[in-house]
Structures are given as structure tokens and as C-alpha cells.
Structure 1
Amino acid sequence: MKPNFSHKTVEASQVTISELMLPSHSNFSGKIHGGYILSLLDQIAFACASKHSGAYCVTASVDTVDFLNPIEIGELVTMKASVNYVGRSSMVVGIRVESENIQSGYVKHCNSSYFTMVAKNEDGKTTQVPGLILKNEKEVHRFLKAIKRMESKKERKQSNTRLDLSSEESLNKLSDYNIKIDF
């Protein structure tokens, strides 16, 4: 039976993992494959959300995956995850990815990502998660930024109306792009 906490600190569910990047993790250009990093991101998001909720968690969405710097074979990748936001059954897990050249000690920021995770009960239904205790300005800032990203996402969904391809206005919007319409 899972413990019943009404609220948990951000620190209580933080997870950090480190892994040495091997040649088997690389793509055709000799850099670490983005898909491999995404797989690790999903794993740490699951661990962090499950630790916070005390429940099995599934990935509902992945927001903002910007690959800022390439990761090289032989570098040590460290991912740090924390719950930035909680709703009734959902959590936004923020993850920072850094890679370190273990010979020189040089560390670079490679990625920051945000995963929305949903807690499930034994029957596969959503289940309530503990609230979040925010203990400093950084945690409040992350919570507010998560709210802002969710609001922006709602606005984008509402503005995604079906375009009328027969209208001249819609087709004129395409004139600045490197395309050819052939139908």
C-alpha cells in the first residue's frame, strides 16, 4: 500500500542519473543519438513522477526538447529531474541534461526538457497525486513557468483551426516558403 502524503517537497522526489556514452549510443555522424537521450529522459521522468506520486506513471506529453549541444562518445551524461508542477493526477517533470568530458572536466548544458506524467492506479485509472511544497524562489519560478507553458499549449490548441485551402489568403501565406504546390 502506498503512503498517503498530502504534500511533498520538490527535493523528496528529485532523481539524478549518470551514464557513460558508448559507441553503441551514437548516430551516423558519431554523436550520441537523440533518440537514445529521449529514451533516458523518459526513464528518469517516470522515476521522478513515480517517486512523487507513489504510483505507476505514464507519459502524457513531452514539451520543449531542444538539443542545445551535441554529446560525444566517452562523455558522462548526467540528468537531473524534479517535479516542477502538480495537478490532480498529472505532474510536470523538468529535466536538465549535462555532459562532462571526464578527461578535461568540461561540463556543457545539452538539453532541458519537460515531461507531463500522469499517475495511474492498479485499475489503470488516473489517481490523485500529492501536492507540492515549494521551498524557495527557484521552485516557485519553475511552477509558474509550467503554468505558463500549459496556458500557451491550450492557446495553440484553440487556434489550430482548419485552414481553407481554397482561399487565396491561405495560399498567399505560402509564397515565402521553399515549396511547390502540385495538385
Structure 2
Amino acid sequence: METRMTSIREEKPVRAKPEAPEEIKDHELFRDFVEQTWHHIRHVETIRLWTTNTYAFIIGGVLAFASAIPDKILKIFLLIVLLFIAVLGVLMNLRIKANVEDAFARLDRILRERVGLAEQLRFGTPTGFARHLSVHWMFLAFYIGMVVLFSLLLLHELGVILWLHDLLGVPRP
């Protein structure tokens, strides 16, 4: 009995050719849609800024209050609340970034497919140091820094820092 080897070819999936998009019939409606999408993006960024401003005021007030009270249990509770708010800030920042990127992608796709203006509307890619630093990463670094700071303050209030000094043989301050 003779066995015959056959070659197995990988077939490329057949992609359907994209149909030409319908012609835009109501230009005013389309312009309003693009404008509202842009306003939504700006609104979400403004929410992030105002939330961070409010957060900074809350931190200042709570820390001023905590420094004036001698009760250790209340200080620990306030630090736990601040730590929780900082973690919420990190999560909020990540969610806002996803929302803004999604809105930009939709707007870019619509302008590219329907109008062919996406390339003309780009502001250009930043160069130098600005290329690596974005507002999103600054907000994220701020909130992560607050999580680390409040974690260290909480550990200090709980006495864990002094316990580590004893464990490592470092003289206490």
C-alpha cells in the first residue's frame, strides 16, 4: 500500500472588500456629531482636572486635621480613607484614559472613512521629551505617588517602620 504525501497549504482568509461609505447627505448633522464628540473628549478631560483639584483640597484638609489630633486610631482611619481615595484616583484615571482614547479612535475612524480629513486634522507628533510625557502619565504618577505616600504614612502610624528598624538592626531615629 502506497502512501502519498500531500502538501498542506495555508489558505489566507478572504477579506471582503470594503464598500464605499455612503455619501454624507446631511453635512450639518455630521458636523454637529463631530463637534459633540470633540466636546465630550474635552469634557472628560475637564472632569479629570476638577476631580484632581478636589482631591488635592481633600488631602490638604484631612492632613491638616490629622496633624492637629492626638488620637492615633483616628489618624490611622483617616490615612486608610486617603489611601482608598488615592486607589480610586488611579482607577478613575485609567478609565478616563480608555474613554478618551476610544472617543479619539471613533472620531479618527469617522473622519478617515467619511471625509478623508484624518491626516489633515492631526496636530503632529511631539518631539523630544514631550514625546515620552503625556498628561495621562502625569495624573497617573500623581495618584500612584499618593498611594505610596499614604501607604508609608499608614505603616509609620502602625509602627511597622520602627519594627523594620529593629529587624534590620538600624538605630531608631
Give the TM-score normalised by the residue count of structure 2: 0.25
Bigger radius of gyration: 2
> Which structure is higher in helix share?
2
Q: Which has the higher contact order (CA 8 A, sep 6+)?
A: 2
Structure (1 or 2) with the greater strand fraction: 1
